[in-house]
Chains A and B, each alone.
Chain A
Amino acid sequence: MKHQSFSHEHALYLRARKKNLALVWILRLGILALLLGAWELVTALGWIDPFIMSSPSRIAKTIASLYADGSLFYHIGVTLWETLAGFAIAVVLGFAVALLLWWSDTVRRVLEPYIVVINALPKIALGPLIIVWFGTGSEAIVFMTVLVGIIVAIMHMLSAFVGTDQNKILLMRSMGANKWQILQKLVLPSSYPAVISMLKINVGMAWIGSIMGEYIVSRAGLGYLIVYGGQVFKLDLVMSATFILCVLAAGMYFLVVLLEKALVKNAER
């Protein structure tokens, strides 16, 4: 059955929308192709020194050789593992601390200035301390990633918990609810959207933390490749690692958006 249940105007509207979407995609890809093409051209013609600027073809070659000697997925794996571990720990720990702070007003008031100061502190200042405490392995970088993400997670969740509708709390108290019941039946479900936005923010935070950590101290990973490439003036390596990072970050972002869609659908049932 191919019956259209909408008007002719609506069909026109849908077609115009589809056309517009196609145009947007053509332009997006066009810009990318143009930039890459111009880059390749100016370096190939020698207008700009490819030794400093690298070029798309040299990046492709570098990635191919990284792949050939087996180090491509090793470095990607290291960074990905550090980022995901740091993300998971920051999110879970941040959520738990926020719950504790919500539960006890006194604890919250006592700890508030500490949180504010840790939040304001540029975490990179702790670099030397982290090296001394955790050495130069992945642990140091995971710790840095957690440090960057956890405060954001705490503050985001705490403001959601504390912002729970006072009238709904009053209603529950009038039913005789205890604090645990209020948490379980009201505060947690009503914080659901905040959990999703917190996950989204923290994905970005985790990348910042892990790459920053690898800049300070590392023997492997994409951040390490970038720093190393810079030190020995292999700009091809720097550009290649940056490019891979872009792809990974974009991939992870889309995964989170997918997760968000699934979770929101689940919440609405």
Chain B
Amino acid sequence: MKNILQFENVRHIYHTPRGEVVAAEGLTFSVDEGEFVAIIGPSGCGKTTLLSLAAGLLKPSAGSIVREGSCGYMLQKDELFPWRTIEKNIFLPLEIKKQNTPAARERALALAEKYGLGGFLKSYPAQLSGGMRQRAALIRTLATEPDVLLLDEPFSALDYQTRLNVCEDVAGIIRSEGKTALLITHDISEAISLADRILVLTARPARVSHAHTLGFGDLPPLKRREQSSFSGWFETLWRELNA
């Protein structure tokens, strides 16, 4: 399998007038093409920093980061622009990247249609439910056909019921589009229900302390939660996080 993202001994230091914060140190891991990797770690350990590094929004202080191809970033909140229709929101990355061609728009619209947003294209974000908005945010991320998706706790702003549904949705869309994804979360069960592989981070500065391959295959999130091995994984990861 081809490596699509590779961190090698990465260190990142934030400098502020009050001092410096080492957010990552000796961080090494890689993501293969088509793989769904979840990274869990205590809050404040440097997860968002890791994702910003992967997206190229930050330059590492030391070490190397290699990414093959483009990436799409999805944040905690949907961050849809309230003055744009859903359709115009989905076209935003196309406009930014100067790829706003009829063919690209057609493709993005087809995606929206396929994943149940067809009836909402002319609506404004305020008219949609939280789950629908997060789905629209995912379609926006997919519009430019990124090679790897970077997801920063994309469900944590939703209430529990919606979270389970959107999680199911998003997992389905990412699997059926065959996308590579790197998901950051502090929610253990979310990581187990979505990922092929889970990396556990230490407290700050972030470093990979454990790695597990789950072996659930393409099983969707809710089905995974019913598996007997689910609670086993949960206990293992819980122990490792709180070690």
Contacts and interface: CB of A to CB of B under 8 A. Distances in A.
A74 B75 CA distance: 60
Contacts of B95: 181, 185
Given A175-B97, A176-B97, A186-B81, A170 B92 contact: no
Given A165-B79, A168-B79, A173 B57 contact: yes
A167 B79 contact: yes
Contacts of A39: none
B73, B75, B93, B96 — most chain A CB neighbours (10 Å): B96
B204 interface: no
B83 A267 contact: yes
Interface string A93-104: 000000000000
B13 interface: no
A175 B137 CA distance: 13
B157 to A, nearest CB: 11
Interface string B61-86: 00000000001110111010101000
B10 to A, nearest CB: 19
Contacts of A189: 81, 83
B132 interface: no
Given A170-B57, A192-B83, A267-B83, A175 B77 contact: no
Q: Give the interface SS of chain A, mostly helix, strand, loop or mixed.
A: helix
Contact of A181 (B73, B77, B96, B150): B96
Nearest to B77: A167
Interface string B127-159: 000000000000000001000001000000000
B75 A167 contact: yes
A167 B51 CA distance: 14
A233 B97 CA distance: 70
B98 to A, nearest CB: 10
Contacts of A165: 79
A174 interface: yes
A171 B79 contact: yes
B89 to A, nearest CB: 11
A55 to B, nearest CB: 53
A189 B82 CA distance: 10
B73 A174 contact: yes
Contacts of A185: 81, 92, 95-96
Interface in A4-54: none
Contacts of B81: 168, 185-186, 189-190
Contacts of A173: 57
Given A165-B79, A170-B75, A267-B83, A175 B96 contact: yes
Contacts of A201: none
A232 to B, nearest CB: 56
Contacts of B71: 174
Interface in A154-169: 165, 167-168
A177 B96 contact: yes
Nearest to A267: B83
Given A176-B96, A185-B92, 8 more contacts: A167-B76, A173-B57, A174-B55, A175-B93, A175-B97, A177-B96, A186-B81, A268-B124
Interface of A: 165, 167-168, 170-177, 181, 185-186, 189-190, 192, 267-268
The 6 closest A-B pairs by CB, nearest first: A174-B73, A175-B96, A175-B93, A177-B96, A171-B79, A189-B83
22 contacts: A165-B79, A167-B79, A168-B79, A168-B81, A171-B73, A174-B55, A174-B71, A174-B73, A175-B73, A175-B92, A175-B96, A175-B97, A176-B97, A181-B95, A185-B81, A185-B96, A189-B81, A190-B81, A190-B83, A192-B83, A267-B83, A268-B124
